Structure 1
Amino acid sequence: MERSIGFRASDVIQTILAVLVLGTVSLRVVECKQGSVPDALHYSAINCRKHSALLTDFGAVGDGKTLNTKAFKAAIDSLSKYASDGGAQLIVPPGKWLTGSFNLTSSHFTLFLHKDAIILASQDEAEFPLVSTLPSYGIGRDGNGDGRFSSLIFGTNLTDIVITGNNGTIDGQGKIWWDKFHQGQLNFTRPYMIEILYSDNIQISNLTLINSPSWFVHPTYSSNVLIQGLTILAPVDSPNTDGIDPDSCTNTRIEDCFVVSGDDCIAVKSGWDQYGIKFGMPTKHLIIRRFTCISPDSATIALGSEMSGGIQDVRVEDVTAINTQSGIRIKTAIGRGAYVKDIYARRMTFTTMKYVFYISSAYNQHPDTGFDPKALPEVKGINYKDVVATNVTYTARLEGIPNDHFTGICISNATISLSEMPKELQWNCSNIAGVTSNVTPKSCNLLPEKEKVDCAFPEDRLPIEDVHLKTCSTTETA
């Protein structure tokens, strides 16, 4: 990935933030006796559960050294019998709980982390079984193998799943995986932290997630997904540590999250080249709001580059990025096919950024040689308004494809203040079409200035906006 210049102050910011958050976590662990939950805990969820159990009921030891993979599996298996009787919740109490990958095998289930609980991912590859590659990707994204390591928390074909806490922590202990990646020692794709496939009604909320081996939160082939109140932290030079990656999902809401990452803070995806085209499942009806990002070498929100199932109807509002390479970046290439269309964003504030507006058609990494060079992506209906950015190097880099122009680009009410050493060419435009209105600096000729244009933002409400959470308690017992 292209390395930005002049953003290293973000390393200091990221380190301070991580120390503050992790220091708070470390202090909290001593507040309560390991393995105990002294008082009833209350939390918000899409559904409450009739039955409850502690992880320690299944022999788990929270000393940060004892491996608890079997305890997690035993607990989840035991509680699965309550799926049709009001559901069940597994409470992870105060302590440090070392574990390998474990599956959520039952619907109507809640995994709840006490505020003084830390789930630690094992650093032993053997604790992460190999699973099949995703059909919309065709191959793994790391190494040469066809398989991939199972995510730390994994689930498939589920309904009504909640992963939440009172800001409990999950630590992926990813450095060993990052080192293997850099040294070319991986045969299979690194684990993600949380991955839910082929599921409906998912909530992931109110947690601190740190140091994932690769992507942090990856809902895939799913619908009605609520991601809320997450703090996600990884070193800004860690490889592929995307924060939140909705992938071929419908009706998703991401809000009130903070991400420091070595890659895109949010990456919206839907499959890779011919595999994504064949699978044909778009990401659509996505809301992102009240979101903050720090990522010196990547995007606040990326659309793609794996977008071969299509991306449509993305609504972004009230976003802040600090020391981040770009704002909303559309990433595609010849061979991707499909579309990125009906994209809406408003009220975005950026401080210290290389590119504010960025559309690239040059993401030419392909899963194999079988991609179709005639599969051209359609990019249209891109709407940005009410943007304020300071200390900017380039205002815009907007690159379509010859004979496949990206059209319907609208930018209105945007004020860009440049850095002390900005690039002379502020608008680098090719093979695009659209308009601007009340934009500073003045745009390129392919985006002519029009008076009194207000770029579109939908007024209708998506179904996920009307999902209201219930107040639940941990006092119920199995």
Structure 2
Amino acid sequence: MQNGDTLLIPFNKTFWLMGGIYASGLAYVTIQIDGILKFSDNQTVWPRDPQTQRVYECFFFEQLNYVTFTSSLSGGNKGIIDGSGQNWWGLVEYLLIGENRPRLLSIYNSTNLLVENLLLKNSPYWTFLANDIANLEIRHTDVDARIRPDAQYHDLNEMTAFNTDGFDVAGTNVWIHDCNIWNDDDCIAVKEQSSSSIHSSCSENMLFERINASGVGLTIGSIGPSATHTCVRNITFRDCTMYNTFKGIYLKSRPGQVGHTGEITNITYENVLINNASQWSIWIGPQQAGYKDACSLVWPFLPDTPCPIPIGITWNNIVLRNITVNGPHLSPGVILGNLSNPMLNVLFDNVVVTKPGFFPWGTRYYACEGVEGIAQGNTQPPPPCFKIKPF
């Protein structure tokens, strides 16, 4: 493709693809998907790196500049990229192949991108990853990854479609808005930049707004300390709705080498509605995961399960404002900082939980330690370790 070219996938046609589609160096071009791109689900013949046997991504692009992924359809119709992920999901499949599964759309080391009016469906693994990105806008683009096409809840069966992250982004100047997400892992995850990033050493300056999401949260992380000082800062989620979600607001750190550092600073969630969360509505603390030294996935429900809190991440200026949580199945949440390096300036301003669950924290409502926090406005119930600031 040359500057100014458009690649057109025609309306009302389905094109079957095998993974490993790669492009580099595209500039000032448009990829217009008016039909359906559907990937094979045949793991046996899926292309792999000959040395590592890692599968190649469905799409992998790098060094793009001024590239648009779009559809010309209207009336609620969208161009579709379908990863045929069902054959890659499931507990047995996870035991056999782990996370050696292809991402649907992966973009690296690129600038000035627009993704709009698309449906990203049933990715085998993470749906969309933008890594080392500057100036990315995603709008009117939906993510749908579910076992049953009509699933409305994240039950145990649905959750076997894990690792189907929605939008994962690491970079600077990102705006994602007016999107719908249903999946069984992080709905949106702000990731840390790699040490080789050329655009910014931090993931920073991102806005996510007017998003309907249901899955494992509107997420920061997981963020781990590094020798080059990991940093995630100036991130805002606002005007978002989460129905029948698994987790709601989710900020997570992970362990790193002793002496390495990182930060999560200037993070704001405002005007967020969370209805009928089946697990934690608000989690600020260590990542829940299945790897060693993570907070156990079954903590605190099984006795003696560990939940270590990393020390290397500095948390500062975390704001939740005008958050409404209705009818959570469990206690409202978890706010856990390391006592040796506590979270600073955590503010709950009008964080209202109606009909909070009593399990497992009873009338304390939150697990809360290692944090210097303030509850103000109409915050009810306030986390027990926060100071109450009167009106």
Provide TM-score, normalisation by structure 2. 0.80
**Residue identity opposite 2:347 in structure 1:** C
- For residues 69-468 of structure 1, what are the structure 2 equivalents within 5 Å? 80=1, 82-83=2-3, 87-93=4-10, 94-101=12-19, 102-105=21-24, 106-114=26-34, 117-125=35-43, 128-130=46-48, 148-165=54-71, 166=73, 167-179=78-90, 182-186=93-97, 189-235=100-146, 236-237=158-159, 238-247=161-170, 249-270=171-192, 276=194, 281-295=201-215, 298-299=216-217, 301-308=218-225, 309-335=230-256, 337-353=261-277, 354-363=279-288, 376-392=312-328, 393-419=330-356, 423=360, 424=362, 425-452=364-391
Measured after TM superposition, the shift of residue 278 of structure 1 is 7.6
**Residue identity opposite 1:90 in structure 2:** L
**Higher relative contact order (CA closer than 8 Å, sequence separation 6+):** 1
2:243 & 2:290 partners in 1: Cα distance?
28
Residues 287, 98 of structure 1: CA spacing in aligned structure 2 closer, same or farther, 3 A cutoff?
same
2:310 & 2:358 partners in 1: Cα distance?
40
How many residue pairs end up in the alignment? 343
Gaps of 5+ in 1: 1-79, 133-144, 453-478
Measured after TM superposition, the shift of residue 264 of structure 1 is 1.2
Residues 374, 437 of structure 1: CA spacing in aligned structure 2 closer, same or farther, 3 A cutoff?
closer
Residues 188, 436 of structure 1: CA spacing in aligned structure 2 closer, same or farther, 3 A cutoff?
closer
1:201 & 1:321 partners in 2: Cα distance?
29
1:385 & 1:253 partners in 2: Cα distance?
20
The answer to whether the 8 A contact 2:311-2:340 is kept is no
The answer to whether the 8 A contact 1:147-1:188 is kept is no
2:83 & 2:233 partners in 1: Cα distance?
32
Measured after TM superposition, the shift of residue 131 of structure 1 is 5.7
Q: Which moved more, 1:416-425 or 1:315-324?
A: 416-425
2:59 & 2:367 partners in 1: Cα distance?
43
Query: Which structure has the greater CA radius of gyration?
Result: 1
The answer to whether the 8 A contact 1:171-1:209 is kept is yes
Measured after TM superposition, the shift of residue 362 of structure 1 is 4.8
Q: Which moved more, 1:96-105 or 1:206-215?
A: 96-105
- The DSSP-based 3-state class of the residue aligned with 2:95 is coil
**Residue identity opposite 1:252 in structure 2:** V
**Residue identity opposite 1:395 in structure 2:** P
**Residue identity opposite 2:283 in structure 1:** Y
Name the % identity.
21
Cα RMSD after superposing both structures: 2.7
**Residue identity opposite 1:451 in structure 2:** P
Measured after TM superposition, the shift of residue 339 of structure 1 is 1.2
Measured after TM superposition, the shift of residue 313 of structure 1 is 0.5
**Residue identity opposite 1:327 in structure 2:** G
Residues 126, 164 of structure 1: CA spacing in aligned structure 2 closer, same or farther, 3 A cutoff?
farther
